Structure 1
Amino acid sequence: MPYATVSDGVRLHYETAGRGTPIVFVHEFGGSHWSWEPQMNFFTRRHLCVTYAARGFAPSDIPESPDSYSQARAADDIVDVMTAAGIDKAHLVGLSMGGFAVLHAGLRHPDRVLSVTAAGAGYGAEKAHEDYFKGISEQVAANFESKTAKVFGPIYAEGASRVQFQDKDPRGWQLFADRLAQHSDTGAANTMRGVQMQRPSLYDLEAEFKAMTAPLLVMVGDEDDHCLQPGIFLKKTVPASGLAVFPKSGHTLNLEEPGLFNHLLAEFIAQVEAGRWGPRDPRANPAQIMRTE
């Protein structure tokens, strides 16, 4: 079982499979390295695929202090795992918390990134809901501590943007909920307090995103309400970006709609590697409604 020892001494469990251009999959708060099985199974046909458990998620180390968790550490952990796996540059793919992490990795380590795919990245980003998000995040952290993941995990798994997954694929959702119930109480609480509650709003990073050089694919479900507007913001701000909106879909996109997710991701990576995913054509002026001359 390979581990990467990162800059502050924390050990992160990672798994690799396949051959080819590397892809690193970065999981969400509600998942772990196992969340990417539909992608690991598919993309290993053409790529070297890596998935890992973030700090606070077994079998990776679970630091006891919330100070060991932050958005910057989450981004740097990606690169440290790549280094441990002998990877110089990779396509980075993240969902939700992982989507934020790959975006920040694209900003912090552009020399290590071939492309960025951020799916379901937006919770806490909306300026109007910043304070509410911090408050509800603290409640979630406290619930993992007091009620335990075994009790609270299934409740968390039935949130407003998760029931779409439950309706479409009850067996898949149940597996997701069962695995969420096995999370570390300490790791979940510390991740919520150290990463989710403290990360900057995407809107506060507008200047950085305007200068972002990595090709970006943004994916969002049309019923993942608090990710829709942040997704549009990223599309309008990052130069070489594209936006895919999944119909009748919620937050857990890679498990809820694995076929569509894999198809769009494969097409994106193919275009990037062919040099065909560039900045928006300057003739596509968003201020223009119809050409008159």
Structure 2
Amino acid sequence: MSHGPAAAPVPHPSRAATPDVEGVVERDGVRIAYAVHERAGAPTVVLVPTWAIVPSRFWKAQVGYLARHFRVVTFDGRGSGASSRPEGAAAYTDTEYAADVLAVLDATGTDAAVLVSLSCGAAWAVHVAARHPSRVLGLVAIAPSCGMNVPTPGRDHVPWDEPLDSTQGWATYNKHYWLGGGYDDFVEFFFGRMFSEPHSTKQVEDCVAWAHEITPQVLVDSTAGRLGCDGAVCESIEPLARAVRCPVLVVHGSDDRVRPLAFGERLAELTRGELVVLDGAGHGPPARDPVRVNHLIREFTERVAPTPRPASRRTWTHAAHRTPRVLYLSSPIGLGHAQRDVAIAAALREARPDVQVDWLAQHPVTRVLAQHGERVHPASAWLRNESGHIEHEAGEHDLHAFGAVRRMDEILVNNFMVFADVVADGEYDLVVGDEAWDVDHHLHENPELKRFSFAWLTDFVGWLPMPDGGAREAALTADYNAEMIEQRARFARVRDRSVFVGSLGDVVDVPFGPGLPSIRSWTADNYDFAGYVTGFDAGAAAAGAADVRASLGVRDDERLCVVTVGGSGVGAPLLRRVLDAVPAARAMVPDLRFVVVAGPRIDPASLPVPDGATVLGYVPDLYRLSAACDVAVVQGGLTTCMELTALRKPFVYVPLRHHFEQTYHVRARLDRYGAGRHLPYADALDPDGLAEAVAKEAAREVAYRPVETDGAARAAAMLAGLV
């Protein structure tokens, strides 16, 4: 057995956790890739591979959370991920997989660990625990599926290694069908069975994609090895299970359509273990019910492998003497949420001076909070940055917002688990979530975790498909909307207040999807309306405009064009396009000066600076600069556009391509206010065309609908009664 060189990997912006070490151990010519998340002094949890059809990435919803509490080891099983794909069934027997577990334990310097398995992995964990008891602290077997004499009605009568006439249902689980061109059909069928719960489109999509990282022959070999076909030797794990002496937790869904609950019951019986039934769950609880699974793994590990803790002190305060506490969550995708949320928090303190507000927040929100002297909860350091993921997803002024949020699932699970740890002690009276998608979704999925009042804020309702997404995207957005509608109908108590930042007329009047209600009518029935929250006093901002212009060196006989793209790095291409158009714009409007704001996540030094332009980095209270301008060019984000609308400034806005919110929700609201000049990005690619749009808008006399000035106070009044 040999070890490959260990390396410290580069963080991935869309992953919930970055391992401290990645390496390879080679055993009998087979290379097994592993990763280690170190945590000094903590017990080790090994997330055991499952069937070769998916790699260790299947555990993505567990790794981030568990790695904050334990030392975590993951590895790709032979036949999957970055590990070798040996040939022949004999290479994939249970004993080979069990030997790989031991090899990884040795390679990572792990004396003993809690082994967590899913499906087939339970057999391999049982092998290790029975034959090497000193290496196993405990077993968590989720949806165990192999090696036991338990019937599976509807599946047992279908032979795996004989040609079949049928290609329906479990007949697709067939060696000859896979090799004969039916692999794709089987994969779709199998994962549809695995995730029996409604609204599991993302979990199915992930697994189907992973299944296509291997060949049908690899799946044939790995299945034959497990079943004892094609020359492999298969043994029942029942005698081994009886020999297990470590603590065992079996977790099984009552609606498991791959292997019935009887499998879990049998393994728990044989090992004298504890059985937790997830009523209504299917065969993939780690992906479909990650919050519950994460908590079960943590509770079990702490029970079977307690670590010494230093002496601690806790104080319980009588209810009559408690300071009302609010935990505020502000979406980090841009800076607009931060600006309005600081204003709402200030208004809440005016209404309730005794309130203490803590913030669970990420960059760039934390930069705004620091500016205003707000208290950021130290657990914020555990959050994975959503803005980084969004920037990773973006192309040239192109962000498929719906798809980006879907693909942010593991980050959202990680961040919800951070939130759940923070509120577990019950010290918060109110949680305010401004588009905190992770908290709203997972609280509805796990309503028993709600121990506080919860207020939800948003400035749009409803996922909408982009035209070029076709029928598939229309179906996915409708499914997400339907899930939200069902959650709200079933668990209305989760949100004590749903606050729309705007007025009913700002809500788009289109259906959530086929057979679903109108977004506007449903929102009218389910939300309170605060009016828009600008977060600043437009009159005071206008009064200070002359000082801002002077600080920038803008003369009285010059006109100022401000260019800004918000708090993320997505807008860098638009800034470059505007800078390319500066000469043409100044040729049309000679007295026009440009000030370009790169924001907190774009390096100003990376941008060209033509004559007549100034490039700035992060600008606190950007609205002051907006108040000083004569015209502006912005992305299609709601906050900046509404800020300019409130200040009654002409502006050109260029929505991100494929960004459904900017394309539909924001544009509909701006049309209602009669504000701004919409410019598709394709038209902004031509410097002369962009310059012409800026010149025309600079000459425009605005006549916008007035923007509300009391939105923050109205929103705060809705929150005050919940504290």
The verdict on a shared fold, with TM-score over 0.5 as the criterion, is: yes
- For the pair 1:5 / 2:39, whether they are aligned, the reply is no
1:163 to 188, 196, 205: 196
Alignment partner for residue 234 of structure 1, among 259, 267, 272?
267
Q: Is 1:86 matched up with 2:109?
A: yes
Amino acid at match of 1:132: D
| Change over 3 Å in CA distance of 1:193–1:272 after alignment to 2 | same
Task: Tell me the equivalent position of 1:200.
Answer: 235
1:95 is matched with which residue?
Answer: 118
**Residue 140 of structure 1, aligned match among 163, 171, 174:** 174
Q: After the TM superposition, which residues 1-293 of structure 1 pair with which residues of structure 2 at under 5 Å, given as runs?
A: 2-6=23-27, 8-19=28-39, 20-29=42-51, 30-123=53-146, 125-128=148-151, 132=156, 135-136=159-160, 139-147=173-181, 149-150=183-184, 152-159=186-193, 161-164=194-197, 167-197=198-228, 199-203=234-238, 205=239, 208-224=240-256, 226-239=259-272, 241-274=273-306
Amino acid at match of 2:159: G
Cα distance, 1:213 vs structure 2: 1.1
| Equivalent AA in structure 2 for residue 146 of structure 1 | G
SS of equivalent residue, structure 1 residue 182: coil
* Aligned partners of 2:94 and 2:124 also within 8 Å: yes
Q: TM-score, normalised by structure 1?
A: 0.82
Deviation at 1:269, TM superposition (A): 0.8
Asked if the contact 1:119–1:219 (Cα under 8 Å) also holds between the matched residues in 2, the reply is yes
Percent identical pairs in the alignment equals 24
**What value does the CA root-mean-square deviation take over the aligned residues?**
2.5
1:139-162, Cα deviation, whole Å (9 max, x unpaired): 533333232755542232222x43
Structure 2, unmatched stretches of 5+, are 1-21, 163-172, 308-723
Please give the per-residue CA displacement for 1:216-259, whole angstroms capped at 9, x wherever unaligned.
Answer: 110100012534112222222323x1111111111011101100
Partner-residue secondary structure (3-state), 1:44? helix
| TM-score, length basis structure 2 | 0.35
Contact 1:27–1:98, Cα closer than 8 Å, also in 2? yes
Change (3 A) 1:269 1:143: same
How far 1:127 sits from its partner (Å)? Answer: 4.6
Question: CA offset at residue 195 of structure 1?
Answer: 1.6
Q: Contact between 1:154 and 1:181, CA under 8 Å: does it hold in 2? A: no
Unmatched 5+ residue regions in structure 1? 276-293
Cα distance change of structure 1 residues 69 and 43 upon mapping to structure 2, 3 Å threshold: same
Structure with greater contact order relative to length (CA < 8 Å, sep ≥ 6): 1
Q: Is the 8 A contact 2:253 2:277 kept in 1?
A: yes
Q: Within 2, Cα distance between the matches of 1:93 and 1:269?
A: 10
More off after superposition, 56-65 vs 131-140: 131-140
Task: Give, in angstroms, the shift of residue 136 of structure 1.
Answer: 3.1
The CA deviation at 1:123 is: 4.2
**Structure-2 change in CA distance of 1:56 and 1:268 (3 Å):** same
Structure 1 residues 71 and 137, CA gap change in structure 2 (3 angstroms): farther
In the alignment, the residues of structure 2 paired with residue 168 and residue 17 of structure 1 have an alpha-carbon distance, to the nearest angstrom, of: 31
Q: 1:48: how far off?
A: 1.4
In structure 2, relative to structure 1, the CA distance for the partners of 1:255 and 1:128 (3 Å cut) is: closer
AA at the equivalent of 1:182: E
- Looking at structure 2, the residues matched to 133 and 182 of structure 1 have their Cα atoms a distance apart, in angstroms, of 29
Structure number with greater Rg is 2
For this pair of structures, how many residues does the alignment match?
267
Question: How far has the Cα of 1:202 moved from its partner?
Answer: 4.1
Shift of 1:134: 7.9
Cα distance, 1:128 vs. partner?
A: 4.5
1:102 deviates by 0.9
Q: C-alpha separation between the residues in 2 aligned to 1:182 and 1:152? A: 15
> Equivalents in 1 of 2:268, 2:185: separation in Å?
38
Contact 2:38 2:67 in 1 (8 A): yes
Alignment partners' CA distance in 2, 1:14 and 1:177: 23
Please give the secondary structure, in 2, of the residue aligned with 1:135.
coil
SS of equivalent to 1:15: strand
